[in-house]
Amino acid sequence: MKSLIAATLFSILTPYACFSDVITTKGQEIIEKNSNAVITLQLVIKQKVSFGGSPSQDNESKVDATGTVINADGLTLVSLSQIDPTVMLESMMAGNPQLAQLNMETEIQDAKLVLEDGTEIEAEIVLRDKDLDMAFARPKSKPEEPFDFINLESSADAVYLEEIISLNRLGKVAKRVHAASVERISAIVEKPRKFYVPGNAQTQTGLGSPAFSLDGNLIGVFLLKTAQGSGNSLGSMMGGGMANNLMSIILPTIDIADAASQVPPFAE
């Protein structure tokens, strides 16, 4: 009887174990191929905040943002809301008279691309797209050695419930090591612009992280989707309403390539 039960359990669990092995194997391949192209954008940011006619309060802080390198010149995509939170707030406050007197300004004092080996390269923001939460950074001068990068031409579409692999770069407290996660596509929004919605399980995937199909092709990058002109009061946003107006999404590769094509080349 015990042997029959054991055989039954083996027949049930074996397919799941095999599938798990496939994810592990494919995930390792994706990590080895692309980890050097997932880097950190380190920023020193100065913020000024005022409300109504009150004097502004100044604050300076350091920010680390995960970036996805998309060409050999070091062009790196990051989430704009990660380096300039005023963009997110302006979008949510649009049309809200209660918040119209709140004024925030953000200025980037210093920017560096931090590579896998710890090398720091002076960088600058060369393009911003508020609607898509994208910002592109690159070295201030054309690099002598090419960067490792993720090829946007090797792209893939995703389907409902598909399991994908994401790569993130953790913060300083974790020595900026890579974190890989298995995500699952829970929804696909087609209009007015297509994007993918990952599942809501807690993972180590952060904004700016690339998402890959199991065959290693780029599906897109994790960015922030904001409900514009939501009209919520400051109290409702602080009380939990903000969760209904913000969502981490995967922007498809085709939109990233289109935006990247607008970045001007290095001056000769």
Beta bridge partners of 135: 78, 128
The candidate with the shortest Cα–Cα distance to 212, out of 40, 20, 68, 17, is: 68
Alpha-carbon distance of 207 to 81, in angstroms, equals 9
Q: What domains can be seen in the chain, in order of their start residue?
A: 36-260 (2.40.10.120)
Tens of pLDDT along the chain (268 residues)? 545 444 444 454 445 444 458 899 999 999 999 999 999 999 999 988 777 667 777 888 899 999 999 999 999 999 999 998 887 777 666 556 666 667 778 889 999 999 999 999 999 999 999 999 999 999 999 999 999 999 999 999 999 999 999 999 998 889 899 999 999 999 999 999 999 999 987 788 999 999 999 999 999 999 999 876 555 544 444 444 445 678 999 999 999 999 999 999 988 6
Q: What is the pLDDT of residue 245?
A: 75
- C-alpha to C-alpha distances, 187 to 48, 140, 158, 217, 253, nearest whole angstrom: 38, 39, 10, 19, 17
Helices (H), the chain: 2-34, 80-83, 85-93, 234-238, 253-260
Among left, alpha and beta (phi > 0; psi -120 to 50; other), residue 27 is alpha
**In whole angstroms, what is the distance from residue 92 CA to residue 59 CA?**
22
Backbone angles phi, psi at 177, to 5 degrees: -75, 165
Per DSSP, the three-state class of 207 is coil
Give pTM, 2 decimals.
Answer: 0.85
